[in-house]
């Protein structure tokens, strides 16, 4: 099942929450800030031990004070006009998170709108990528019981809902 949720990703009851991190895994603002605040300082230590996460890849940690099993940290691309591989890199973030969830036998995962804040990816285009990757993965593997697109505002939620409908009707 694919769902859209309006609210803070750190409050969701799922197996995995995805963090829109940066490639240095050093924490920051936006979702990253919220995840680090909610998980507590041990998360920062765990991230430091992991080192870097190249753009488009994923690294996993425990969730500490957040009551989920895992946090997947992925570094989305910074939007620079769209001709520098941004769609491929963003697709790769989703694919790598989904593949890792399968390897780790996770049943549910929540994604924020990776790259749609500080990294300036146009939301309509990012949502297209996100929905396409998740739908394709579920059609191919069907491994996850629940995938949640979590957003903080209604405009973003509406974009996901419209895109999911468009995908189903295609």
Residue 106, interface with ligand AR6 (CB under 6 A)?
no
Tell the smallest beta-carbon distance from residue 112 to ligand AR6 (Å): 4
Mask 107-146, x = binds ligand AR6 (CB under 6 A)?
Answer: -----xxxxxxxx---------------------------
Please pick, among 8, 32, 120, 158, the residue that the annotation labels catalytic: 32
Give the residue with the Cβ less far from ligand AR6, 62 or 122.
122
Strand order in the sheet with 108-111: 2-6, 146-151, 108-111, 16-21, 70-75, 58-61
Residue 152, interface with ligand AR6 (CB under 6 A)?
yes
Contacts of 74 (CB under 8 A, 6+ apart): 18, 19, 20, 21, 53, 56, 57, 58, 59, 93, 96, 97, 114
Candidate residues 14, 16, 18, 21; the one interacting with ligand AR6 per rule CB under 6 A: 21
Is the CB of residue 102 less than 8 Å from the CB of residue 59?
no
- Sign of the alpha-carbon dihedral angle for 67, 72, 77, 78: positive
Tell the smallest beta-carbon distance from residue 8 to ligand AR6 (Å): 4
Candidate residues 101, 134, 150, 159; the one interacting with ligand AR6 per rule CB under 6 A: 150
Q: Which helix (H) or strand (E) holds 73?
A: strand 70-75
Residue 89, interface with ligand AR6 (CB under 6 A)?
no
Q: Interhelix angle for 42-50 vs 30-39, to 10°?
A: 120
Q: Identify whether 32 is a catalytic site residue.
A: yes
In the block, residue with structure tokens 């990253």: 32
Tell the smallest beta-carbon distance from residue 135 to ligand AR6 (Å): 20
Is the CB of residue 124 less than 8 Å from the CB of residue 26?
no
Interface residues toward ligand AR6, by CB under 6 A? 8-10, 20-22, 28-32, 34, 76, 112-119, 150-152, 156
Q: Which residues are catalytic?
A: 32
């Amino acid at each position: 099942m694919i769902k859209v949720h309006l609210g803070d990703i750190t409050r969701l009851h799922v197996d995995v929450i995805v963090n829109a991190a940066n490639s240095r895994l050093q924490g920051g603002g936006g979702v990253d800030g919220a995840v680090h605040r909610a998980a507590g300082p041990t998360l920062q230590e765990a991230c430091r031990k992991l080192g870097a996460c190249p753009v488009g890849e994923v690294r996993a940690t425990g969730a500490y004070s957040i009551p989920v099993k895992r946090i997947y940290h992925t570094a989305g691309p910074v939007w620079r006009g769209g001709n520098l591989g941004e769609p491929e890199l963003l697709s790769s973030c989703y694919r790598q998170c989904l593949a890792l969830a399968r390897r780790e036998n996770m049943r549910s995962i929540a994604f924020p709108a990776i790259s749609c804040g500080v990294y300036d990816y146009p939301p309509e285009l990012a949502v297209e990528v996100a929905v396409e990757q998740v739908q394709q993965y579920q059609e191919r593997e069907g491994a996850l019981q629940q995938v949640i697109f979590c957003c903080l505002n209604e405009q973003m939620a509406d974009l996901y809902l419209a895109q999911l409908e468009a995908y189903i009707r295609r």
